Amino acid sequence: MMKRIAVFFLCLALFFSFNNILNANQAATGAGIDGLDISSGIVNGDRVEYVLSIPEDWLEFIIVEREALPPDAKIIEKLNLYFQPKNLRPVLLCNFFVIETRYSEEIGAYKRILETDEFDFRAYVSASEPNFSNAGEQIIFDHIIGQLHDFNFCFELFSFPDGKGPIVKDMLHVNGRLIEGSVIYDSNQPFVPLRAACEALGYNVVWRGGDASILMEKNGASHVLYTAGRQNYGAVRVENSFYVPALFFVSILKTSFETDKHGNVFITERAG
């Protein structure tokens, strides 16, 4: 008798599991969505070489559709991500677009995630705010939408073959090391964050409020930048940080200061 009860409950569990999958598939089909197989956790590019990694905690809840596009479209690849609640139609989460870089200026409506030498990757995150009766589904939907709004998070979802990865722009490198803090440009002149660059060079950096100056000390040598006077070497304040141009590093700290075609800055200590 006990064996029959156990078999009955096992069959019942399998029925409900199959029924849930069937309902999800029927909902997707009913919405006209031809979802990709994402069981491996990845989606490979179609006309462009890339891999989109789907976070493991998303897999149970999303559908990924590759939208068919005409061969001459300026958008050459489009992935649509949908949230799939139980017993309801799928809800759009976001669209990922791949655009040829030569058309980037013509298609400016979407947020840029990254660029490669040939392609521009962009995203549109849905602004809809559905209210699900299931509190758990609401929490999961809000969680995924929140992650998609973080474009640094989206950047990390994409990977590329060697030599075909993202272009790094407007970043600061000191002695061959990538430093926290981006380069900013004014009239095509690069400015770098003073504290981040000097600390990476080994200086102790101290703000002196009495005369609005910045003291930099290293191995007994010291340099002072007066932010409010003539000896500010072109320093500019952005929010709560000071940025300085090449002149300060070349003339005062005696380092090299080089840029590349993507706006990255490379500061290197000179030997001796």
CA distances from 105 to 78, 101, 236 (A): 18, 8, 30
Confidence category of residue 72, pLDDT binned at 50, 70, 90: confident
Same domain for 27 and 152? yes
Evaluate if residue 270 carries a pLDDT over 90.
no
CATH number at residue 211: 3.30.457
Among the listed residues 231, 206, 219, 64, the one whose alpha carbon sits nearest the alpha carbon of residue 144: 64
Strands across the sheet containing 119-125: 62-66, 75-83, 91-100, 119-125, 111-115
Residues 249 and 131 in one domain: no
What does the pLDDT look like over 197-215, one tens digit per residue?
A: 999 999 999 999 988 999 9
Q: Do residue 116 and residue 31 come from a single domain?
A: yes
Q: Indicate whether 144 and 196 sit together in one domain.
A: no
Dihedral (C-alpha) 131, 25, 123, 157: value to the nearest 10 degrees? Answer: 110
Please report whether residue 202 resides in a domain.
yes
- Together in a domain, 148 and 252: no
In terms of domains, do 84 and 192 share one?
Answer: no
Q: Where are the alpha helices (DSSP H) in the chain?
A: 2-30, 135-148, 151-157, 194-200, 246-247
| Pairs from 17-22 (Cβ < 8 Å, separation ≥ 24) | 20/86
Range among 136-145, 159-168, 180-189, 233-242 rated most confident: 136-145
Burial of 160 from C-beta contacts in 10 A (0-12 / 13-18 / 19+): middle
pTM of the entire predicted model: 0.61
- Tell me how many domains the chain contains: 2
